[in-house]
Amino acid sequence: MSDAKLIIDGREIELPVVVGSEGEVGIDIGALRGATGMITLDPGYGNTGSCQSSVTFIDGEKGILRYRGYPIEQVASKATFPEVAYLLIYGHLPNRKELERWLGSLTRHTLIHEDMKKFFEGYLPSTHPMAILSSMVASLSTYYPDPDPATDPNINIVRLIAKAATVAAFSYKKSIGQPIIYPRNDLTYTRNFLHMMFAVPTEAYEVPDVLNEALNMLLILHADHEQNCSTSTVRMVGSSQANIFASISAGINALWGPLHGGANQKVIEMLEMIQADGGNYEKYVDLAKDKESGFRLMGFGHRVYKNYDPRARLIKRVADDVFEQLGVDDPLLDIARNLEEIALEDDYFVERKLYPNVDFYSGIIYRAMGIPTNMFTVMFALGRLPGWIAHWKEMRDDPTSRINRPRQIYTGPTERDYTPVNQRD
Ligand SMILES: CC(C)(COP(=O)(O)OP(=O)(O)OC[C@H]1O[C@@H](n2cnc3c(N)ncnc32)[C@H](O)[C@@H]1OP(=O)(O)O)[C@@H](O)C(=O)NCCC(=O)NCCS
C-alpha cells in the first residue's frame, strides 16, 4: 500500500502506511511533529494504535476474537486456562513437556510468604477485594525483586499468576471472616482456586465439575482483549520499566472502574434494582434511551464490538449449563433474558449496535457459583492476568519500545504574572 499524503497549510508530507497480518491499516505518524510541529488529537484513543502487537486479534465489526491466531470459540471449549495463559505469554501452544513444566511451576509457587498474611489483618472486613488484590500484587515486588535475565527471566511471571489466585481467595475469606485455606498442590489451577474459596477446615470439600468447567471457560474468555483500558495501563506503566508487579497492580486498578471490569458487578446491581422495583425492565430500557436520565444498561455496548460480542455468546451457554446443573432458580436471570430480548429489537440499541457484552452474563454465573458480587471484578482480574503479562512482556522484549508519553493540545491560560495574595480579588 502506498504512503498516505497529508496536506497542511499547502505543504504536503508523506506518512508511511503500516499493514498488520490481518490487513488492518494504520498511518505511521512518527514523523509528523518533526516535519510539521503538529500532533494528532484523539481523546479516548478511538483512532489511535498505541503499538504493534501479535497477542490478540479482534474484528469488532465481524465479532471475531483470536488469541495468537486461535479462535476464541476453539480455545474456550478445548483448552485449560493455564494452557491459554502459556499461549498468550509465550506465543505458542505448549508441547507436552512445556505444559508439564508450566503447570508444575504454577503449582509450586501458589503459597504466599507467611509474613504477607499479616497484611490481610490490616484491612477492614468491608474492604473491596480489588483494593486488596492491587495492593498485594504491588507488595509482591517487596519479596521478589526483578530476576536475573540470564538465569530465570520468567520466574516473576509464574509467581504472579500462581500467587494472585491465592491472594484473591484469601481476600474473600477475610471479607467473610473465615479462616484462610492454603493452596493444594494436588489440584489443578481452577480446582485449587475454588477449593481455597469454598472449603472450610472443618469439612471435606469436593469441587463440583460444573463449577470447575464454568470457571475455566470464564477465565479463558477474559484472558486477553488487546489494547483495552487496563492493558494499555499495564503497557503505559511498564513502559517506564516499572517492575511486573507494579505494572500489573496498575492494570488491576484500571480494571476496577464500572466502565471496564467493574461492569459485571454493576450488571447485578442493576438487575437487583430492577427486581426491587417490581421487575419492570421495560421502564429501564426506556430510561437507558433517555439521555437526560444518565442511566445506561450495564453490560450493553462495547467500544470495539459493533456486532455481538463473541464471548457473550459462549458465556450464555455456560450460564445455561450452570443453572441447569446446579438447579439454581434466579429471578435475575429472567430479568436479564427479558432485557436482552427487548434491547436486541429496540431501534435505539439496534441503531447504535449495542449488544450484550461479556459482562452481561458473567456476573449472573458467578452469583450462581456462590461467588459474591464484590468478587466479580477480582475474577475478571484473575482471568485477564495472562493477557496483561503477555503485553507487558511483549513490550519489554521489544528493543524499540520507548517510554509512553502522549502529548496534548494546551487550552489553559496564556502567560500571566503571579500576583501576591493581598492583591488578588
Ligand atoms: C462500553 C462503553 C463504555 C463503550 O463506550 P463508547 O465506545 O465510548 O460508546 P459511547 O459511550 O460513545 O456510546 C455510543 C452511543 O450509544 C449509547 N450507549 C452506549 N452504551 C449504552 C448503554 N449501555 N445503555 C444505553 N446507551 C448506551 C451512548 O449514549 C451513545 O449514544 P449517542 O450516540 O446517541 O450519544 C459503553 O457502551 C457503556 O457505558 N456500557 C455500559 C458499561 C459496560 O457494560 N461496560 C463493560 C464494557 S466490556
| Mean per-residue pLDDT, 23-38 | 95
The half-sphere exposure of 197 on its side-chain side, counting CA atoms within 13 A, is 23
Share of the chain above pLDDT 70, in %: 100
**For residue 200, what are the contacts with CB-CB under 8 A and spacing of at least 6?**
178, 179, 181
Residue 55's pLDDT band (boundaries 50, 70, 90)? very high
C-alpha cell recorded at residue 180: 484462610
> What is the predicted pLDDT for the residue at 210?
93
> What is the predicted pLDDT for the residue at 357?
87
Q: Say yes or no: 335 and 208 in one domain.
A: no
Higher-confidence position of 256 and 309: 256
**For residue 272, what are the contacts with CB-CB under 8 A and spacing of at least 6?**
332
d(CA 190, CA 182): 14
Question: Could you identify the atom of ligand 1 that is nearest to the CA of residue 300?
Answer: 23
Q: Say yes or no: 299 and 357 in one domain.
A: yes
359 is known as an active-site residue? yes
Q: Say yes or no: 92 and 216 in one domain.
A: yes
Residue 309's pLDDT band (boundaries 50, 70, 90)? confident
Task: Read off the pLDDT of residues 204-222 as tens digits, 9 standing for 90 and up.
Answer: 999 999 999 999 999 999 9
Is 363 a domain residue?
yes
Q: Poorest-confidence range of 87-91, 199-203, 262-266, 407-411?
A: 262-266
Which of 224, 210, 262 has its CA nearest to residue 392?
224
Which of 15, 37, 36, 11 has its CA nearest to residue 25?
15
Residue 304 predicted with pLDDT over 90:
no
Ligand 1 centroid from CA 354, angstroms = 7
Q: Residues with Cβ within 6 A of ligand 1? A: 259, 263, 288, 296-303, 352, 354, 357, 359
Residue 230's pLDDT band (boundaries 50, 70, 90)? very high
Is 293 a domain residue?
yes
Mean pLDDT, the chain, whole residue set: 93
C-alpha cell recorded at residue 85: 495463559
> What is the predicted pLDDT for the residue at 403?
97
Residue 260's pLDDT band (boundaries 50, 70, 90)? confident
Ligand 1 centroid from CA 75, angstroms = 28
Is 398 a domain residue?
no
Residue 74 predicted with pLDDT over 90:
yes
d(CA 73, CA 107): 27
| Top mean-pLDDT range of 86-90, 141-145, 255-259, 276-280 | 86-90
Q: Are 39 and 33 in contact (CB under 8 A)?
A: yes
Question: Could you identify the atom of ligand 1 that is nearest to the CA of residue 303?
Answer: 7
Q: Say yes or no: 73 and 176 in one domain.
A: yes
Q: Say yes or no: 333 and 277 in one domain.
A: yes
> What is the predicted pLDDT for the residue at 148?
85
| Mean per-residue pLDDT, 267-283 | 91
| Mean per-residue pLDDT, 43-62 | 95
Of 59, 84, 100, the domain-final residue: 59
Residue from 346, 352, 362 whose mutation best tests the ligand 1 pocket (most atoms within 8 A of CB): 352
Question: What's the CATH number where 284 sits?
Answer: 1.10.230.10
Is 136 a domain residue?
yes
Of 369, 391, 411, the domain-final residue: 369
> What is the predicted pLDDT for the residue at 3?
94
Q: Say yes or no: 350 and 220 in one domain.
A: no
Ligand 1 centroid from CA 301, angstroms = 5
Q: Say yes or no: 221 and 318 in one domain.
A: no
| Mean per-residue pLDDT, 230-238 | 98
For ligand 1, atom 33, the nearest C-alpha belongs to 352
Q: Say yes or no: 124 and 233 in one domain.
A: yes
d(CA 407, CA 269): 38
Tell me the residue range of the domain where 326 lies: 263-369
Question: What's the CATH number where 88 sits?
Answer: 1.10.580.10
Task: Read off the pLDDT of residues 177-191 as tens digits, 9 standing for 90 and up.
Answer: 899 999 999 999 999
Q: Say yes or no: 210 and 123 in one domain.
A: yes
Considering the candidates 302, 309, 330, 398, report the single residue annotated as catalytic.
302
Residue 125's pLDDT band (boundaries 50, 70, 90)? confident
Q: Are 155 and 181 in contact (CB under 8 A)?
A: no
Task: Read off the pLDDT of residues 130-176 as tens digits, 9 standing for 90 and up.
Answer: 999 999 999 999 999 998 888 888 999 999 999 999 999 999 998 89
225 is known as an active-site residue? no
For ligand 1, atom 29, the nearest C-alpha belongs to 291
Is 411 a domain residue?
no
Is 324 a domain residue?
yes
Q: Say yes or no: 110 and 141 in one domain.
A: yes
For ligand 1, atom 36, the nearest C-alpha belongs to 301
Q: Say yes or no: 95 and 239 in one domain.
A: yes
Is 121 a domain residue?
yes
Is 277 a domain residue?
yes
Ligand 1 centroid from CA 425, angstroms = 43
For 13, 28, 401, the CA distances from 33, given in Å and listed in that order, are 11, 12, 18
Task: Read off the pLDDT of residues 362-403 as tens digits, 9 standing for 90 and up.
Answer: 988 999 999 998 899 999 999 999 999 999 999 999 999 999
> What is the predicted pLDDT for the residue at 171?
92
> What is the predicted pLDDT for the residue at 264?
85
Q: Are 90 and 105 in contact (CB under 8 A)?
A: no
Number of independent structural domains in the chain: 3
Considering the candidates 109, 195, 309, 359, report the single residue annotated as catalytic.
359
Ligand 1 centroid from CA 212, angstroms = 32
| Mean per-residue pLDDT, 222-247 | 97
Grid cell 500500500 is found at 1
Cα Rg, the chain, nearest whole Å = 24
> What is the predicted pLDDT for the residue at 256?
94
d(CA 365, CA 290): 29
Task: Read off the pLDDT of residues 314-339 as tens digits, 9 standing for 90 and up.
Answer: 998 888 889 889 888 888 988 998 99
> What is the predicted pLDDT for the residue at 154?
92
Higher-confidence position of 57 and 307: 57
Q: Say yes or no: 43 and 191 in one domain.
A: no
